[in-house]
Amino acid sequence: MADLVIPQAILDDMVAHAKELAPCECCGLLAGTDQTVTKIYRIKNVVALEGAQQLASFDSAKIAHLERLSPAERAEIAFVMDAQDLAMAQKDMRRNGLTLQVVYHSHPHDPARPSVTDIKIATDYEEYWGKINLPVPAYLLVSLMQHTPDVQTYWIRGGQVTKAAVDVQQ
Amino acid sequence: MIKVRIPTPLRPLTKNQGEVDIAAGSIGDMVNTLESTYPGIKARLCDDSGELRRFVNIYVNEEDIRFLKGKDTALKAGDEVSIVPAIAGG
């Protein structure tokens, strides 16, 4: 049985989002009910804002790397979700009886698997989800490294990464 | 007293404490009280005009203060405040 059901139209929308922002990383959320995704929320990537790299739980090596880059270049190797957009999405989910299912982002230059940074931050974030009244989501990566975009979904728990079983609904 | 949960990236400023108990009547008051005890924390949470930065959420008992009264959100004894950094990755 699938862990998640994602409609093809929403997969297409995520890939389109990734292509629109390339070479920068895009990010967003998928929500639905009963493990079935019904809605996509595109979220602004605010990694270029002053100070974002420090508060966003990046490890010190990643912060040092980001600080050597221009603000525009930072968005090619990292994302930080706009907290205002997240709050709006959370409110919309609550109003429509939806549950957070997936956090997605793109890797314009790298494969569709979580980076060391992705795993570290997802692991740090496990302690926050309950406090902000959201379930622990799956993590979806869109890679634009090859000509054909690659989309893969994972669970990240306790620093361990496992593939999530996704059914695509036509 | 109010319980304030401090996220990992800010713990170097709070002597590595993950939770601190402080007296505060509002979120703005809480930020200033935190700043007087843990200098430097305010600049991580607020921009130069005092507004909450775009990469931090503050929740009072699981409700985002952006949907309460922002920094004027009132606090009462026993409230739990969570400072949560934006979801991020690389």
Q: What does the pLDDT read at residue A56?
A: 86
Beta bridge partners of A168: A6
User: What gap in Å lies between CA A65 and CA A73, rounded to an integer?
Assistant: 11
pLDDT, residue A31, reads 98
pLDDT at B89 exceeding the cut of 90: yes
DSSP chain A: --SEEEEHHHHHHHHHHHHHHTTSPPEEEEEEETTEEEEEEEE-B-TTSTTHHHHTT--HHHHHHHHHS-HHHHTTT-EEB-HHHHHHHHHHHHHTT-EEEEEEEEESSS-SS--HHHHHHHHHHHHHHGGGT-PPPEEEEEE-SSSS-EEEEEEEETTEEEEPPEEEE-
Which residue type sits at B26? S
Beta carbons of A25 and A107 less than 8 angstroms apart: yes
- For chain A, list residues with pLDDT below 50: none
Q: How confident is the model at residue B62 (pLDDT cuts 50, 70, 90)?
A: confident
**Can you tell me whether residue B41 is helix, strand or coil?**
helix
Chain B: residue whose CA lies nearest to A107:
B90
B15-32: per-residue pLDDT in tens?
999 999 999 999 999 999
Domain of residue A62, residue span: 4-169
Q: Is residue B60 part of a domain?
A: yes
Print the domain residue range for B59.
Answer: 2-85
**Pick from B5, B9, B86: which is nearest to A81 by CB?**
B86
Q: For residue B90, tell me if it sits in a domain.
A: no
DSSP code for B67: G
Subunit contact B67:A87, Cβ cutoff 8 A: yes
The predicted structure's pLDDT at residue A39:
98
Assess whether pLDDT exceeds 80 at residue B78: yes
Quote the pTM value.
0.94
Do residue B57 and residue A86 have CB atoms under 8 angstroms apart?
A: yes
What was the pLDDT predicted at A1?
Answer: 77
CA distances in angstroms from A160 to A118, B8, B42, B62, B90, listed in the order given = 11, 20, 34, 27, 17
pLDDT at B53: 95
Domain count, chain A: 1
Would B50 be classed as within a structural domain? yes
A42: domain CATH number is 3.40.140.10
Domains held by chain B: number: 1
Q: Taking CB atoms and an 8 Å limit, are B53 and A51 in contact across chains?
A: yes
Looking at residue B54, which CATH number applies to its domain? 3.10.20.30
Closest among A78, A20, A88, A89 to A49, alpha carbons compared: A78
Distance of residue A133 Cα from the nearest chain B Cα, in angstroms: 6
Q: Does residue B37 lie within any of the structural domains?
A: yes
Q: CA A45 to CA A52: how far, in whole Å? A: 10
Taking the Cβ of residue B57 and every Cβ of chain A, the question of whether any pair is shorter than 8 Å is answered with yes
Distance (Å) of CA A99 to CA A32, A90, B73: 5, 9, 26
**Domain contains B47:** yes
Asked, for residue B69, whether it belongs to a domain, the answer is yes
Please give, rounded to a whole number of angstroms, the shortest distance from the CA of B90 to a CA of chain A: 4
